[in-house]
Chains A and B, each alone.
Chain A
Amino acid sequence: MTAPAPRAPWPIGRVHWLGIATLYRREAKRYLRWWFEFITQPLVSTGLFVLVFHLALGPEGDEGAGEAAFTYLLPGLLIYSLLMQAAASTLYSLVFDKIEGALADILMPPLTPGEFAAGYLMSALSAAAATAAIVLPIVLLAGLGLPADPLTVAVFATLGCAELALCGIAIATVAKKWDQAEAFVSFGLTPAAFLSGVFAPVSALPDPLPAIIKLNPFHYIVDGFRAGYLGQHDNPVWLNLVVCLAVTAGMLGLCLSMLRRGVGIRA
């Protein structure tokens, strides 16, 4: 009996498309497994924000002001939930795999850092798109119209979610424990998101604050998104776009270099 001939290695082209698609499917299945939390969490939190702000801001005396502030707020709530979803997607998924020891399943296959990042990035963007479908009806019911400039809205939503998803990857690689990932969300992401002009115009704030907020990358995502949605913005749209592109590119470079060196994920 002769030994079976070794199988010829399977040729992979310049880009391992099948690998990226498989990684993407793996991540998508994760969300489907947690569908209940995935749907209800943004639904309830955005719904509550809308109700609370509506009742707390309610037109008391001056009709116009409360109403305008509320309309200003709604696109902010929408982009806020997308950004948090994008960050949570990559961060929790990677940290979970790392703690469970399942990360080897992704590090062993012949995926380059770029393919690795692409798979996670696309799954995070899909999760954010699904969240948009969940949250959009709420803000529309609350009285927000459709976006004035859908292209600008889409560009800023995509760039912003990409920034956050990459940020999630970077943090997940360095986090050693579950609490470290959670601490980053509670003490880093949430404060940065809250204090970025999501809820109200930055220009109306008392003095040192606007200057500080201009250092917050979230501010440019939110401002660009709102510019597309309502036509209202604090910064010129080109500036928002340049900052978002630069931050995305920077985060991508950082992630790729970390993945290449195996920071936190390879011995």
Chain B
Amino acid sequence: MIHQAPTPRTIGAVNWLGLWTLYRKEVRRFLKVIFQTVGAPVVTTLLFFAVFALALGGIVRTTGTVPYLEFLAPGLVMMAMAQNAFANTSSSVIIAKVQGNIVDVLMPPLSALELAVGYVAGGITRGLLVGFVTLLAMAPFAGLTIYNPVFVLYHAVMACALLSMLGVMGGIWAEKFDHIAAVTNFIVTPLTFLSGTFYTVDRLPETFWWLAHFNPFFYMIDGFRYGFIGHSDGTLAVGLLVLAGVNLALGAATYRMFASGYKLKA
């Protein structure tokens, strides 16, 4: 009997199976150490909440007409989502590069777009999971109610996508862990901390207040918070457009990086 060589699998316009496999790999990568990737950020965020609530008199304070804790909680949730979406994609890419197993992702018949979508979807999943668990844990203490679920969801997804794409780009650009640590320490952490997570930007001195309105992180937090408390510091429509625009630009840049093989292919 003659063995026949298997016929090549026909792949349509989109390699759905490949995309799904990459996504599954990305999700399983963080689920394997779920205590560190979801548990730890949830605990840290709750600690911030506890410190601001208990020690700093957050219970009795108000921001404008909103109780401070109700103001703070969405900010913290957004901060946790953003940091973890970034951490997921950036660490995945840089570790694969340093260890050399990035070829496992580059060799299969996945297009640049499929690679980008697979990684980014993994980052969004981690961000949303961390955000959801944090939100559930905080909601009873913060007295949170949802004012507009569409705004909550739109900003959550857009923010996680934005940070996931930044993470992919950072991971591709970085040559060692130090580089990613620098991006995390100097860009992601400061922006997630200072863009209105803990205070209303009306508090800021003139120049910084003005700068905040050019900061996509500010619109992420502001719009997400609006979904809960029904009040925003910035103009909502501007925020929606800024996030859509920034994500389109980052999406194009991420695609370009994969398509050109920048720092990935010899």
Contact = CB atoms under 8 A, between A and B. Distances in A.
Interface of A: 34, 36-37, 40-41, 44-45, 48, 51-53, 55-58, 60, 69, 179, 182-183, 186-187, 190-191, 194-195, 197, 199-201, 204-206, 209
A191 B198 contact: no
Residue among B36, B39, B194 having the largest count of chain A Cβ atoms under 10 Å: B36
A199 B36 contact: no
30 contacts: A36-B181, A37-B178, A40-B185, A40-B186, A41-B185, A44-B186, A45-B189, A48-B190, A51-B193, A52-B193, A52-B198, A55-B203, A56-B56, A56-B198, A56-B199, A179-B36, A182-B36, A186-B36, A186-B39, A186-B40, A186-B44, A187-B43, A190-B47, A194-B51, A195-B50, A197-B55, A199-B51, A200-B55, A200-B56, A204-B57
Interface of B: 33, 35-36, 39-40, 43-44, 47, 50-52, 54-57, 61, 178, 181-182, 185-186, 189-190, 193-194, 197-199, 203-204
A185 to B, nearest CB: 8
Contacts of A69: 56-57
Contact of B50 (A41, A52, A182, A194): A194
A41 B189 CA distance: 11
A195 B197 CA distance: 21
Contacts of B52: 56
B220 to A, nearest CB: 17
B198 A183 contact: no
B54 A206 contact: yes
Given A40-B181, A195-B50, 13 more contacts: A41-B185, A44-B186, A48-B189, A48-B194, A52-B197, A58-B199, A187-B40, A187-B43, A190-B44, A197-B55, A200-B57, A204-B55, A205-B55
Lowest 6 CB-CB distances: which A-B pairs, in order?
A200-B55, A186-B40, A56-B198, A194-B47, A55-B199, A44-B185
Given A183-B36, A183-B40, A36 B199 contact: no
B43 A44 contact: no
A197 B203 CA distance: 26
A39 B199 CA distance: 28
A52 B79 CA distance: 13
Nearest to B203: A55
B57 to A, nearest CB: 8
Nearest to A191: B47
A40 B182 CA distance: 8
A49 B54 CA distance: 17
Nearest to B193: A48
Contacts of B40: 182-183, 186-187
